[in-house]
Amino acid sequence: MDSITFLTDLDDFVREVQPPTTVRLNLTQRLAKTNGPLPARVLTLVLQGFNDQRQLVAVAQRWILQRGPTDEDWWTPGGQSLFDRIFEAKDLLQRYLTIMGYDVRFGQVAIAKNVEWMFGEFNCLEWEREGDEYRVKIGGG
């Protein structure tokens, strides 16, 4: 594989990788060092598929959530709620893609470390916040 095309939203992905076909969906998380004293959890939701020219196409959305100084708790009161909703968003997206006709499999095609990622959003997901609580659902897109 020579290259990967990163797209900015799910609509562009659907135009490039039309169902029915197999796609890969993956949610990763890692602890990241920041410039300040607080660590952060970085969560990345990635959707990949191959277009008609057999080029790898992807949409990736990233969230960076601040942790407390010892990484035992969330720095902001809504941190746990947002963290939980990101996992819910992955499940919602998987169901949404399946209804669209994709064969959704979990995992990710390996990408060279020197590839510079471009992040977008899954515009089918609608996020709401009330106080410290987040909600996610399939929306208008």
Mean pLDDT of the region 70-85: 84
Residue type for position 102: Y
| Whole-model pTM over 0.95 | no
**CA-CA distance, 3 to 32, in Å (whole number)?**
27
Looking at residue 17, what DSSP letter applies?
S
pLDDT band at residue 89 using 50, 70 and 90 as cut-offs: very high
pLDDT in tens, 41-65: 899 999 999 999 999 999 999 999 9
* Domain chopping of the chain, boundaries: 4-138
Instruction: Please enumerate in sequence order all residues whose Cβ is within 8 A of that of 34, keeping only pairs 6 or more positions apart, or say none.
Output: 40, 66
**CA-CA distance, 44 to 6, in Å (whole number)?**
14
3-state SS class at 57: strand
Instruction: Give the residue among 45, 84, 39 at the shortest CA–CA distance from 63.
Output: 45
pLDDT of residue 140: 62
What residues pair up with 67 in beta bridges, in sequence order?
74
